[in-house]
Structure 1
Amino acid sequence: MEQVQFNFPLTKEQEEQRQKRFEKLKNSETMRQWLKRNRCDEHFLWEHSVKMEQLLTRYETCQSCQGLHQCAYAKKGYVLDLTFEQVLLEQLTPCRYMRKKMQELAHLQNYRYCDLSEAQLLINLETLDVSKESNDYKTMLKQVVLSAFKKQKGVYLYGKPGVGKTYLAAGIANHFAKQGQKVAFVNVVRLIQDLKGMFGDSDAIAKRMELLMRVPVLVLDDLGGENITKWSRDEILLPLLDARMEAGLFTCFTSNYQYGDLQRQYQYASGIEEEMNALRFLERVKALSCEIFVKGSSRR
């Protein structure tokens, strides 16, 4: 049976519009590069001028974009692209800003557990601008970097709220993640809340604890800021620190309390004074870290 074909001739106005589109596409360096990548010739532009004009418009929109915050598309950072493999194929591809972001966050794959924001994942202590910082801050930062980056010992960063303890700890965690080491950054307040929510699911609690006990690099952020109970101290944090101390694993802390004040925080976990239990807890923190005071005004 002979196949029926439908050919609708273009009007003169439509022919002129098509020719105009073709000339625009043919003279576009962006389109010439597309043709080269996809091994197509100018005849292809003529045959698919409407589709290719739509593609060029998308490319031009992206070229004038100043960042992901200005992205004009529904899926931020992705543009609907065209490739030719016998037929035209549409696919979402990351734009230049998204590719840069993906590269900057590539180390995220080495985080086994992460309580950091995207902005905190970009912190790099090695490129930190300290030109406007005080000499005391520079000295402290040097101490943090020398101790932590060389893995001489974990660090215990303490100071008033907002002085940048979490910022420094995030930089330490990012440093090791970029080196390919497995890392966990844990907010202690959130950890205790999460584990309380797992009551009745002993397997889930054991799995979380096993991860934190064994991960090569662990940051415990805001130690002492959680709702301290005998359970959280003696059944969660103490076994965690014990396991890491025995395995010699790198552990860092941030806290609002210096060592002595931290002991007092954990001394009344059960409502009565338990000096020995609090001392046992503190001795493990000390064994895993060196105490560094983070001085300065609030950075929030």
Structure 2
Amino acid sequence: MEPIRETLKRVVNAPAFSERYNDMRKEVLENPGVQKFLEDHAEEIDKSTVDRGMHKLYEYIDQSHDCNKCPSLEGCINHLKGFEPNLVLERNTIGIAYTACKSKNAYDNKRRASSLIHSMYMPKEVMQATLSGFELDDSRMEAFRAVGNFLDQATGPDDLPDKGLFLYGKFGIGKSYLLSAVANELAEMNVKSVLVFVPEFMREMKQAIGDQTLQEKVDYVKKADVLMLDDIGAEAMSSWTRDEVLGTILHYRMAEKLPTFMTSNFSYTELQHHLTYSQRGEKEDLKAARVMERIRALTEPVKLDGRNRRN
């Protein structure tokens, strides 16, 4: 039987193998990335270093760079998905270090931004909203400009305008969508937002009395960096939810000057009328006026109009 060393020597010296190796070597050395690496380390690298590191150089050129060979992060062809190779020289040996590619960075940034938005009972599709996806026409321009002005003034979590917006108008015209788009824009500035669908939140607050989590949940909402109350006025309001839940949250945020956004089918005047009457039919003008005073202190009213985009 032929010794393994002799077998390897015979295979390596075979014309076909030698030709393939020379073709591979030529391809490697003509690669722009390899050429730049060799030029940058011209004083440290000699031919023997290149020969010893040929397998690493080939590993480098065989992968995607700047995502040029990958259709998506999921379809990344690199040895480490989402990471691209960079040639390095360590102790006169050519090696490869992997760093996150632009697709991986974009994905990680999106996940980080998503973690800054806490949604309570909001539809998942609404949470994907972007300002670029907000359809513009004359009836929606005022609201879009108001949102833009708020975002222009917001430079980070420690520098936010005191007042948010009260977006009101009929059903299905994009109020919740715009609210979520603002939250996503703020997340890019590392600003945390809590979005709350008010009718469901109020129902849960009644249940929270029994499981003794009421104070914890109210505290979480009222202390949010930016609070967004969606569809206020659609809930069946009781004196307790109006005064002890909504009133408590708004009073804290007014005192701390924390920006608050709201959406409603009602204008200020119509919402005050809604807050005046409890489920029992009790008329409580003074208490409703007190809540509305806080809403006016926290928000600027902006009417949103247009066609129903849910149909």
Is the pair's TM-score, using the shorter chain for normalization, greater than 0.5?
yes
2:70 matched residue in structure 1: 65
2:60 matched residue in structure 1: 55
1:79 to 75, 80, 83: 83
Q: Distance in 2 between matches of 1:224 and 1:73?
A: 53
- The alignment partner of 2:70 has SS state of coil
Deviates more, 1:54-63 or 1:31-40: 31-40
**How far does residue 207 in structure 1 lie from its aligned partner after superposition?**
4.8
Contact 1:22 1:46 in 2 (8 A): no
1:159 matched residue in structure 2: 169
1:24 matched residue in structure 2: 27
- Structure 1 residues 298 and 185: alpha-carbon distance in aligned structure 2, compared to 1, 3 A threshold: farther
**How far does residue 97 in structure 1 lie from its aligned partner after superposition?**
3.0
* Cα offsets for 1:99-134 (capped at 9, x unmatched): 35556x59839937467979967845xxx599x843
Q: Structure 1: state its 5+ residue gaps.
A: 1-5
Q: Distance in 2 between matches of 1:298 and 1:109?
A: 28
- The alignment partner of 2:62 has SS state of helix
- The alignment partner of 1:62 has SS state of coil
Contact 1:154 1:251 in 2 (8 A): yes
Q: Distance in 1 between matches of 2:138 and 2:108?
A: 35
**How far does residue 81 in structure 1 lie from its aligned partner after superposition?**
3.1
Contact 2:143 2:304 in 1 (8 A): yes
2:227 matched residue in structure 1: 218
% same residue? 23
1:15 aligns with 2:18: yes
**How far does residue 157 in structure 1 lie from its aligned partner after superposition?**
0.4
- Structure 1 residues 209 and 66: alpha-carbon distance in aligned structure 2, compared to 1, 3 A threshold: same
Q: Distance in 2 between matches of 1:17 and 1:98?
A: 35
Q: Structure 2: state its 5+ residue gaps.
A: 154-160
- Structure 1 residues 140 and 62: alpha-carbon distance in aligned structure 2, compared to 1, 3 A threshold: closer
1:98 matched residue in structure 2: 104
TM-score by length of 1: 0.69
TM-score by length of 2: 0.67
- Structure 1 residues 219 and 274: alpha-carbon distance in aligned structure 2, compared to 1, 3 A threshold: same
Instruction: Look up the equivalent residue of 2:83 and give its one-letter code.
Output: V
Instruction: Look up the equivalent residue of 1:293 and give its one-letter code.
Output: K
**How far does residue 186 in structure 1 lie from its aligned partner after superposition?**
1.2
* Cα offsets for 1:224-264 (capped at 9, x unmatched): 45675666444432211111122232211122333344446
1:258 aligns with 2:230: no
1:281 aligns with 2:284: no
Instruction: Look up the equivalent residue of 2:69 and give its one-letter code.
Output: S
2:157 matched residue in structure 1: none
- Structure 1 residues 273 and 226: alpha-carbon distance in aligned structure 2, compared to 1, 3 A threshold: closer
Which one has a bigger Cα radius of gyration?
Answer: 2
Instruction: Look up the equivalent residue of 1:55 and give its one-letter code.
Output: Y
1:3 matched residue in structure 2: none
Instruction: Look up the equivalent residue of 1:15 and give its one-letter code.
Output: S
Q: Distance in 2 between matches of 1:259 and 1:170?
A: 22
Q: Distance in 1 between matches of 2:210 and 2:276?
A: 28
Instruction: Look up the equivalent residue of 1:297 and give its one-letter code.
Output: R
2:280 matched residue in structure 1: 272
Task: Kindly tell me the number of residue pairs found equivalent between the two proteins.
Answer: 286
Instruction: Look up the equivalent residue of 2:62 and give its one-letter code.
Output: T
Contact 1:21 1:49 in 2 (8 A): no
Q: Distance in 1 between matches of 2:251 and 2:174?
A: 28
